[in-house]
Structure 1
Amino acid sequence: MSRTIITTIACLLLFLTPSISFCHSPLQPHPVGKPGSPCPTGDCCPKAAPDDCCGSNGAPEWQINKINANLYVADTPLWYSPAIGPRIKAQVSYNTMVTPTGTEPFGNKWVFGYGGYLQSDAVTGTVTITMSSGSKDEFLLSDGIYTPSCACSAYMELEKIADTHFVLKMKSGRSYIYASPNSDLSKVRLSEVVDVHGNSLQIGYSGDQLSTLTDALGQVTTLHYNGDGLVERISDPFGREALFTYDSSRNLISLTDIGGYQTTVEYREDSMISALVNAGGRTEFYVEPSTAVQSWDRYPPPGTEMGPNARITVTHPDGGKEEFFYDGIIGSSWHVGPADYREYDDLVNNFSTTVPKTAYTYATTVLGVRATLASISYANGEKEIYGYDAVSGKLISVADAAGNTRRMTYNAKGQIATRTTPTGVETRYLYADNELDLIRVEDDLGGTSMTYDDKHQVLTTTNRAGKTTGYSYNSYGQLETITDPAGIVTLLSYDAAHKLTAVSRAGLVVATMTYDAVGRLQSQIDATGLQRSYGYDDLNHITTVTYPDGRKDEYQYNSAHSPHLLTATTDRAGRQSSYDYDPLKNLIRSINPDRSTERFVYDAAGDMVEFLDPQSTSTAFLYDKNSRLLKRTYADGKSLTYSYYSTGLLETVTNSRGQVTTYYYNENGNLLSIDYQDEATPDVLCTYDAYDRLIQVEDGSGTTLFVYDSASRLQTVDGPLDGDTLTYTYDDLGRVATVQLENGQTRTHSYDSLGRLTTIQVGTSAYSYGYDNEVSPLITTLTRPNGVVTTYSYDSLNRLLGVQNDTTGAETINSFSYTYNDQDLRDSETMSGVLPAPSFVEGMIDSDYNTINQLLANQNPEQTFVYDDDGNMTSGYTAEGFVFTGVYDEENRLVSISYTDGAGVIHETRYTYRYDSFLVRIQKYENSVLITDTRIIRNGKLAIQERDVSNTVSREYVWGQSLGGGIGGLLQLTQGGNDYSYLFDGKGNVVSVLDSTATEVAQYRYNSFGKVVAQAGSLDQPFQFSTKRYDAGTGLNYYGYRFYSPGIERWMNRDPLGEAGGINLYGFVGNDPVNWVDPEGLAKVPLPRIKPNPKWNPKGGDPRTDMAKKFDRRFYDTVGDGIGLFLPFATPLGWAGRWATPAGVLLGILVPDPLGDGTLTGNGIDPENCQ
């Protein structure tokens, strides 16, 4: 599928949701000092277009080419995207290997993104095209046809119109027209870029000077020159300007982008850049190119003749240094990072084998001698080996240090034809007769097909299930309609300026938009009717979000170190947060609205080595030479350690109790087994089919089997118990239609034309959802089989105002209403029809904590708590005040808890978990005699049935839409042959259970932190606070990944996510359960209210979480509410810069991902790979 349609569909999906998102985000620059790994082909930039190439918007960024030790600097001080046609990107780039001509419009060695030109040999007819990046493509003339001299240029076609008029056509359908000869006719310059729809960017000249860029809407960007023929100013159609100054030698010495951010450039006498300087500091470059004077010294001292060698030493603003060295004698290179850099002396220097480095070797292909990477060897032992096609020079294999090899082949146009995994499974890519349009991606299981029009636009996609989606476009190439497999049409409407102004589905408007003069989203009305307006700075960062009540969120950027770093936020209530950075753009300080401060410390490699919370409690991190986490040490000195295979996959985790967990994988990187040293923790064994689909798991609960349908969707899950198979069917849109449990209930899901869940049918019982209006996703009613209706009301900001539960006769059973303060937080709750609160007893509990936030003791009553070395509470108190003993397995899961009651009876509860750490068995003993044995069957992570020791069904549950993790989403309980339904307050707490006559048979009241303070009714059922399973004997709530004790208002052990789930690893939802919930015991999420802040551009989130890898969850979502089937094993480490954790250990993906891009069904294919 083309990039255009992918982007448009992604935007459409974003617009269909109430939250704000934007289609365009600027290219992400490599952070200073982190130039990143080179592309295996040696060329990270496509040759196709100046607006597709590497570079930074708003500030210069640098890279070092590892193949030739070339310093490359790029800056895009001005850019914008018109609604149609090629975008404007006024990029300038510097290349140390460019020979100055004295005519460059931006100074010596600097080239302009639209400065490409063509030269034709009058004798041979050979045409050479020089791209703005400096790369050259040669076309040979034979019988009137131009043929690329290199197979790597097979995606280009050149046509001669006249002696000074050529058209270069790309495989995308885009054309580059060269029709502006210079004054001496030695060059024909790029004059126009035309997309496949005829929308063009015109490049105008005044004499030999490029003077204007005119976009497809006729808007003009102008280049202004000084008396020396150098560009001093570029002005866009919106009044913004980029400024340039020069020294007397024609060196560009300063660039000021359209946001006012200025960078100064310093040079040596030979126009070699020696420094980039901004308000945040200076980055220095000591460039030592190869010299004509021969030197056979493998590592010449600095400042001497380099001979065939080359070296660049970079000094960062913090004083750290790194070195890039090309060994021209043997044809290899290496990089020494700031953490390992050695100043030169005769005995010890960076050439020494004792200095850790990343080493590169090169291959000779049709692209040139030593022009591509042959291998990369990392200091920690990891390695990548690359193989290339002898004819085209394209990458055809990638092998790791263990020899696991992935292979690729290509068609005659250079398009990917096959990909083969290390285990030999082949994915095939089939193309239309033009060898450009990808029409099918398939393996032996089937595939996904596409059709196209003559402009390479996707007309239809047919997925593995045989369901077809159709697309149509307007004459400008903008997506106009999407017709899904159910025949429902989504319409995109545009104004006269070609801006998307409305999105409709099934004839109903779901979103409207307006834009400012620059073309940025100015206001948006979403499907709920909520309108937001947006303000921007000149770099297109969102600076304000204004709401219907006139209040706004505000954002400030333009740190001294980068114009894109977020430096401060002010929320709707006027509360301010601020962020400070070091010269390497690392966040070093976060100051919260209450003025508490979190601090972050980094090593020379840029890895976070210490985190200090507002109490200055320290958590330390140690990394290997490839920035993989080796050790995490808490403030109490306890630590976790990690080791890795040469392939980079996690091998072992050693916890603070000295227990070692070992992970094993197959050639494709799928987890095969987890071996626990602790005999009490069952090992896990995984089996996959040839297509990397998980088909079997053996764990402590038994064996689970997975079967897939012809579309590679999960069809059945057969668990360890007899008669426990879950069977899934799907509708035309791929949504779960039915969930059938063997020896249990069948659930049928129905949706309306907007994709909203309308009904869940269980037998003859139906639960129906009603919505705020024809298009709003806000649920306003829930109608149950017993006639009871829950009504939800909202204010103009979509904040929940009330929940009212009424009988068929409109008699109110109970109700809950809420008001909000200036911070959009609930400041009052009014309840009616609920159990009365117990009498207030005045008193104070004094608590004692240690440095890692563990509760050690309480006074009034006097209590003492004990933890093991991994932070698990091993001694605490039940709800009735009895001392319990807790035992945990190697994954820090509670496996048994025991206590002695007032009558001397010894109570013990034992827990068994399945492969994803979710509870599947609860055994209760009294004086060592088994009293109950409950087996839990789950649909995804939610319990849908319980069975006793004889495998007889004792309870069944039906779940609907929830706040996450099932909170507030439990619809029905079937127990003892009777059906019961649940009522909730506005926080997702169970407040009543009704029988089929709408009579309350159970009632609950809680304090804010979930302690049951009043209870009534005869029905015994487990789900209560936060719709979580509660054990009255132990006084604990089970959340999924850990247990919570409402009596002490804390978790029993550390957050498996680490600080990514909150800096207090034991604190419950930030001590604010009035406004937050925790779906699974990992991280808090807000209760429904005004949507959080928009994505911060360009980082996309809170700077603190930018340092944390997202908790990787590839799972199958059976309901559509984020409740999936498969979660990672083990305990993820949490927040530590670049980490590697068991959270990254997956059971495999459930359906093939042929392109490796996360597209599970093969849709979203981009046939234009950047080669």
Structure 2
Amino acid sequence: MRMDAAYNTIAGFVRGMPFLSSADGRLIATSAPGLADTLYEYDELGNMVRSGLDVNANGVLDDGSSDRIQESTTQYTSDGADWWQETTGKIFAVTGSSTPTTTGIQKTRLTGLGTNGLVNETVSTDINGNQTTARTVIDPATKTVTQTVDYPDASFNEITVTTNGLLQSRQSKTGVTTTFSYDGLGRRTGATDSRTGTTVTHYNSLGQVDYVEDAAGSRTTFTYDAAGRRTTETNALGKTIRYAYNSLGQLAYKWGSAVEPVKFVYDAYGQMTQMHMYRNGSGWDGAEWPSGSTGDPDITTWTYQPSTGLLTAKTDDEAKSTAYTYTAANRLATRTWARDNGTLVTTYTYDLNTGELTGIDYSDTTPDVAYAYTRAGQVYTVDDVVGTRTFAYNSALQPVTETIDGASGGLYSKTITRTYETSGVVGRPTGLSLTGYSVAYGYEPSTGRFAGVTWNTGAGEKTATYAYVADSDFVDTLTMENLVTDFVYEPNRDLKTQVRHTFGGADIAQYDYTYTALGQRKTMDLTPDLPDTLVEATTTYTPDNLNQYDAIETGGVTDNPVYDDDGNLTHQQGMVYAWNGENRLISVEPETPTEGNTKLAFVYDYMGRRVKKSVYTFSAGSYQLSAASLFVYDGWNLIQELDGTGAVQKSYVWGLDLSQSLQGAGGVGGLLAMTDGVNTYLYCHDANGNVGRMVSAADGTVAAAYEYAPFGGLIHKSGAMADENVFRFSTKYFDGESGLYYYGYRYYEPEMGRWMSRDPLGEEGGYNLYGFVGNDAVNDYDPYGLRSINSYKEEFMSMLLLDMKRKYYNTYIGPGFSDSLKSRAILFCAAGIDFDDTIWGFAKMGVKAVVNAISSTTKPFVEYTLKKARGILQKQTANKARGFIYNTVIIKKYTKSESDCKCNMTVKYYSDWDVFTVNIKGKVGKTVYEYGETECDCSEEFDYNFDGITTWEEGFFNTEYINNVNISIGAK
């Protein structure tokens, strides 16, 4: 036995990872900062069968302890005359218990192949016992490969047919079929959707895609330089984005008539160190980046730790910096904001054995947060301003109760109970309940799609049901009691042309839309029309070098907003705004209060959700509390509103939002009903998720009617409940006292058409950190105040999301989380696609590089993690400081060949608890799922930095490419 140290030198980074090996050279232990030793055990054939963290530090993995153990066993079993290879994954989930939990079983057929062309068959059993069977059949005569996947929640099978290595057709488990066509060189030239028609791809003489044309005939064209890099992209309206590169092939310039000009500067390690934004200058429509006439840029600078590449500071154009420090394990240790002369510090603490986040301490009055975890790494308790939350899980590691105890200085006490199917599709969520509130979910038996919600919130049982468009997965009709909403789509594009609401056959509201060639909304006609209440005025805004407004002039009166050094608005139009240690708004009040003025105060929980709103009235020289509201959430959806004593005042019920999932769009367009304990009101939304009408469920009376300007300014408001109803524009909570909308992570000011504070995601949410949905509020929406979503532009990724959601309703990705959340987690990890930030928000989900959770022999993991994760994932940690866990390692390959506009995504994910083994090639785990060739729209700008990878082995093992995602994600 010997002790060694493995050193990895990457871009100047040197890290030692001591490891212990046996006499025969097998790895038996590794050590890393901030973690217990990781131990490995083998069977008599030398196969690794167990690994885990030695939490009790006794040098062995003890079943009945707190050690974090995962094990994998492989055996050969017979089923009648056939033999199978069966691999079983287990973890030890309960502290002190030696009884393991089986997380999954995969059987691969070894005999009986060849019959009817069968060449492969696997049967995967999930943690709940649901089986998914995949079969591959080859017909040599026709050179055709047919792959069939039988899912437990649908009567349809997923079927893909490939001939001569070219994908010919794909039928989803919901019965939607897509067919593909190719030219004589085997390049894909067309993709035909069974509803919308054919998208065409065309190539130039060099085999590069020179245009793509959608089924509606809208064309996007491309040009390239001598190195094959894209230099222009011109849309169907003739607007162009231009690209130029530095000598290393990195994108250095981006300009043109369809984009704001920007320049990027990199260091010797390829890390972006500066971004130059230009608001002046000339020549931006030219074919070359203008020389000498670009004006004075606004520069943002990123500074990195030389030895690790970790971000240590971000500095704006006024030389104001946010600073970060890290632990020896490269976990975020402190964050220091720029304001208050750098005295506002947040400190993060971690479990020294597991690396899990245990505490967040703020140097100001922001309430601290503390976490504790189960042996399975799931959140057990959270202590925050609301009280102590205790989570309980079932045998399948799904959350069943969330008990909130606010008796000792907290805000309220509640128990939220979640239920799951116990037969059929075992483990599929069936609803949730708490005192005075219950919802139950239903699914289509033939497709597994969401079918409806039944609820009782104190005013009798009500039901909402969904029907879907033929040959599509889009909602066709929503029926709530007597209220019916019908959706009509363009025949060649997935764009809503009409949203019609009727009650008992009588029209309530109808929205009709037309679109440009780019899929942008051109007109909206509302029937019946509502009278405008706008007063004509001209407002002039003067921005500064930080994209903050220096001056706002209306009718000859100028106001000069003031911001703090972290970019939070502090003074505007006589109002004062205060912010906490997470840059969350905590109070709004007049600068000089007079009798009857109002002050607002807000409190937030561990996820950043607003859990209390207090309203004060200025009287006799001081503020007196006049009202208080407490808020209870399911994820980010508000489900109960309480008064200051904890009595329920209103209950809210949610269905599918614009993402066609329960929370994928942050609830935008998904609010179904509100109950005040006596009456139930139903919501009617337009195509962009704005509340247009609220009607009585009893008789269809319009209780509230609204019409909005493009950026949410109120054009019309009427009805007996128009003021009392708080959900309006983008289905977000409206504070009538301040005129602000609460989105979750930020507050939106509709009269300014921008956010009150900077984007917590930084430039990932857009270069203008205050800009609302890229200044395209007619077409886009923002789920939580982080980034904009355009359902048409992101059709490819949303369809991929829905597809994975349907397949993996019960996949072990953060045990027990929602279908939408799991699929988003997969996509975020696999392709860097953060649809709506739910991966941060729901139950403190965490993302973390797995340097310390893997064997030092799996060098590609370490190389990738240190080189890439510190940029993407550590940035998330710095921004959000979410918790960490070792649930699932995800590895992926994504290729997009510019020459033929093919996209191939291979998403392979591995349970770190499930079948965790290192094979001869250094791969970790067993492939649970592989997502093969997928459609992509070459007219869209999908830049995931995955160019260059051509094969799985190359991408995984060649250190030149660092595009495989190896991270761990799970419940926090």
Residue 654 of structure 1: aligned partner: 336
Q: Per-residue CA shift, 1:754-782, capped at 9, x if unaligned?
A: 23222111143111112211x41111211
SS at match of 1:848: strand
Q: With structure 2 as the length reference, what TM-score do the two structures score?
A: 0.73
Rounded to whole Å, the distance in 2 between the matches of 1:452 and 1:522 is 36
**Equivalent position amino acid for 2:130 in 1:** K
Asked if 1:857 is matched to 2:551, the reply is yes
Instruction: Spell out the pairing of 1:600-619 with structure 2 (5 A cutoff).
Output: 600-615=264-279, 616-619=297-300
Residue 982 of structure 1: aligned partner: 683
How far does residue 377 in structure 1 lie from its aligned partner after superposition? Answer: 7.3
Q: Per-residue CA shift, 1:962-1018, capped at 9, x if unaligned?
A: 121111111111114111101112221111100021110111122111112321111
How far does residue 582 in structure 1 lie from its aligned partner after superposition? Answer: 1.4
SS at match of 1:1142: helix
Asked if 1:951 is matched to 2:646, the reply is yes
Residue 738 of structure 1: aligned partner: 431
Q: Per-residue CA shift, 1:514-533, capped at 9, x if unaligned?
A: 34445454432336444323
Asked if 1:579 is matched to 2:257, the reply is no
Q: Summarize the Cα distance change of 1:387–1:592 in structure 2 as closer, same or farther, 3 Å threshold.
A: same
How far does residue 1168 in structure 1 lie from its aligned partner after superposition? Answer: 5.4
* Aligned partner of 2:311 among 615, 625, 629: 629
* Aligned partner of 2:91 among 443, 450, 460: 443
The one of the two structures with greater contact order (alpha-carbon pairs below 8 A, sep at least 6) is 2
Rounded to whole Å, the distance in 2 between the matches of 1:1162 and 1:1138 is 21
Q: With structure 1 as the length reference, what TM-score do the two structures score?
A: 0.61
Query: Retained in 2: the 8 A contact 1:716–1:728?
Result: no
Residue 676 of structure 1: aligned partner: 362
Q: Per-residue CA shift, 1:775-813, capped at 9, x if unaligned?
A: 41111211111333333333421221111112222x322
* Aligned partner of 1:787 among 483, 507, 510: 483
Query: Retained in 1: the 8 A contact 2:845–2:883?
Result: yes
How far does residue 840 in structure 1 lie from its aligned partner after superposition? Answer: 5.5
Q: Summarize the Cα distance change of 1:1115–1:508 in structure 2 as closer, same or farther, 3 Å threshold.
A: closer
* Aligned partner of 2:709 among 1001, 1007, 1021: 1007
Asked if 1:1041 is matched to 2:745, the reply is yes
How far does residue 492 in structure 1 lie from its aligned partner after superposition? Answer: 2.0
SS at match of 2:774: helix
Query: Retained in 1: the 8 A contact 2:121–2:136?
Result: no
* Aligned partner of 1:1170 among 896, 899, 921: 921
Query: Retained in 2: the 8 A contact 1:706–1:715?
Result: yes
Rounded to whole Å, the distance in 2 between the matches of 1:597 and 1:758 is 46
How far does residue 425 in structure 1 lie from its aligned partner after superposition? Answer: 1.4
* Aligned partner of 1:991 among 692, 715, 724: 692
Task: Say which structure is richer in helix.
Answer: 2
Q: Summarize the Cα distance change of 1:838–1:933 in structure 2 as closer, same or farther, 3 Å threshold.
A: closer
**Equivalent position amino acid for 1:893 in 2:** R
How far does residue 555 in structure 1 lie from its aligned partner after superposition? Answer: 4.0
Name the stretch that deviates more: 546-555 or 440-449: 546-555
Query: Retained in 2: the 8 A contact 1:577–1:590?
Result: yes
Rounded to whole Å, the distance in 2 between the matches of 1:887 and 1:851 is 23
Q: Per-residue CA shift, 1:160-183, capped at 9, x if unaligned?
A: xxxxxxxxxxxxxxxxxxxxxxxx
* Aligned partner of 1:822 among 484, 497, 517: 517
Query: Retained in 1: the 8 A contact 2:22–2:28?
Result: no
Query: Retained in 1: the 8 A contact 2:84–2:107?
Result: no
**Equivalent position amino acid for 2:629 in 1:** T
Residue 374 of structure 1: aligned partner: 6
How far does residue 1087 in structure 1 lie from its aligned partner after superposition? Answer: 4.4
Rounded to whole Å, the distance in 1 between the matches of 2:174 and 2:513 is 35
Q: Summarize the Cα distance change of 1:450–1:507 in structure 2 as closer, same or farther, 3 Å threshold.
A: same
Asked if 1:771 is matched to 2:468, the reply is yes
**Equivalent position amino acid for 2:345 in 1:** V
Query: Retained in 1: the 8 A contact 2:327–2:333?
Result: yes
SS at match of 1:851: coil
Name the stretch that deviates more: 982-991 or 390-399: 390-399
SS at match of 1:400: coil
Point out the structure with max Rg over C-alpha: 1
Q: Summarize the Cα distance change of 1:955–1:982 in structure 2 as closer, same or farther, 3 Å threshold.
A: same
Q: Summarize the Cα distance change of 1:732–1:634 in structure 2 as closer, same or farther, 3 Å threshold.
A: same
Residue 853 of structure 2: aligned partner: none
Query: Retained in 2: the 8 A contact 1:799–1:1089?
Result: no
**Equivalent position amino acid for 1:1086 in 2:** N
Residue 570 of structure 2: aligned partner: 874
SS at match of 2:786: coil
Q: Summarize the Cα distance change of 1:443–1:402 in structure 2 as closer, same or farther, 3 Å threshold.
A: closer
Task: Calculate percent identity across the aligned residue pairs.
Answer: 26
Instruction: Spell out the pairing of 1:170-185 with structure 2 (5 A cutoff).
Output: none
How far does residue 1051 in structure 1 lie from its aligned partner after superposition? Answer: 0.7
Query: Retained in 1: the 8 A contact 2:463–2:481?
Result: yes
* Aligned partner of 2:372 among 687, 692, 703: 687
Q: Summarize the Cα distance change of 1:896–1:766 in structure 2 as closer, same or farther, 3 Å threshold.
A: same
**Equivalent position amino acid for 1:993 in 2:** M
Query: Retained in 2: the 8 A contact 1:798–1:1089?
Result: no
How far does residue 690 in structure 1 lie from its aligned partner after superposition? Answer: 1.3
* Aligned partner of 1:754 among 408, 428, 447: 447
SS at match of 2:376: coil
**Equivalent position amino acid for 1:1012 in 2:** L
**Equivalent position amino acid for 2:331 in 1:** L
SS at match of 1:585: coil
The runs of 5 or more residues in structure 2 that have no matched partner are: 56-66, 78-82, 94-100, 112-118, 280-296, 406-411, 659-664, 801-812, 825-835, 848-868, 892-907, 923-972
**Equivalent position amino acid for 1:741 in 2:** L
Q: Summarize the Cα distance change of 1:1114–1:444 in structure 2 as closer, same or farther, 3 Å threshold.
A: closer
Name the stretch that deviates more: 723-732 or 712-721: 723-732
Instruction: Spell out the pairing of 1:75-94 with structure 2 (5 A cutoff).
Output: none
Q: Summarize the Cα distance change of 1:702–1:653 in structure 2 as closer, same or farther, 3 Å threshold.
A: same
Q: Summarize the Cα distance change of 1:990–1:675 in structure 2 as closer, same or farther, 3 Å threshold.
A: same
Asked if 1:1125 is matched to 2:839, the reply is no
Q: Per-residue CA shift, 1:108-149, capped at 9, x if unaligned?
A: xxxxxxxxxxxxxxxxxxxxxxxxxxxxxxxxxxxxxxxxxx
SS at match of 2:171: strand
Q: Summarize the Cα distance change of 1:703–1:903 in structure 2 as closer, same or farther, 3 Å threshold.
A: same
**Equivalent position amino acid for 1:844 in 2:** T
**Equivalent position amino acid for 2:317 in 1:** A
Query: Retained in 1: the 8 A contact 2:154–2:446?
Result: no
SS at match of 2:784: coil
Query: Retained in 1: the 8 A contact 2:170–2:179?
Result: yes
Instruction: Spell out the pairing of 1:199-214 with structure 2 (5 A cutoff).
Output: none
SS at match of 1:1070: helix
How far does residue 463 in structure 1 lie from its aligned partner after superposition? Answer: 1.2
Rounded to whole Å, the distance in 2 between the matches of 1:1080 and 1:1113 is 21
Query: Retained in 2: the 8 A contact 1:800–1:1088?
Result: no
How many residues are treated as equivalent by the alignment? 772
Query: Retained in 1: the 8 A contact 2:212–2:220?
Result: yes
How far does residue 917 in structure 1 lie from its aligned partner after superposition? Answer: 0.8
Residue 784 of structure 2: aligned partner: 1080
**Equivalent position amino acid for 1:848 in 2:** T
Query: Retained in 1: the 8 A contact 2:499–2:510?
Result: yes
How far does residue 1114 in structure 1 lie from its aligned partner after superposition? Answer: 11
Cα RMSD between the aligned structures?
3.5
Rounded to whole Å, the distance in 1 between the matches of 2:325 and 2:559 is 39
**Equivalent position amino acid for 2:682 in 1:** S
Query: Retained in 1: the 8 A contact 2:85–2:110?
Result: no
Query: Retained in 2: the 8 A contact 1:794–1:802?
Result: no
**Equivalent position amino acid for 1:761 in 2:** T
Rounded to whole Å, the distance in 1 between the matches of 2:37 and 2:204 is 47
How far does residue 413 in structure 1 lie from its aligned partner after superposition? Answer: 5.2
SS at match of 1:640: strand
Query: Retained in 2: the 8 A contact 1:516–1:522?
Result: yes
Residue 155 of structure 1: aligned partner: none
SS at match of 1:862: strand
Rounded to whole Å, the distance in 2 between the matches of 1:540 and 1:1165 is 42
Q: Per-residue CA shift, 1:52-111, capped at 9, x if unaligned?
A: xxxxxxxxxxxxxxxxxxxxxxxxxxxxxxxxxxxxxxxxxxxxxxxxxxxxxxxxxxxx
Query: Retained in 2: the 8 A contact 1:940–1:1118?
Result: no
Rounded to whole Å, the distance in 2 between the matches of 1:852 and 1:1135 is 26
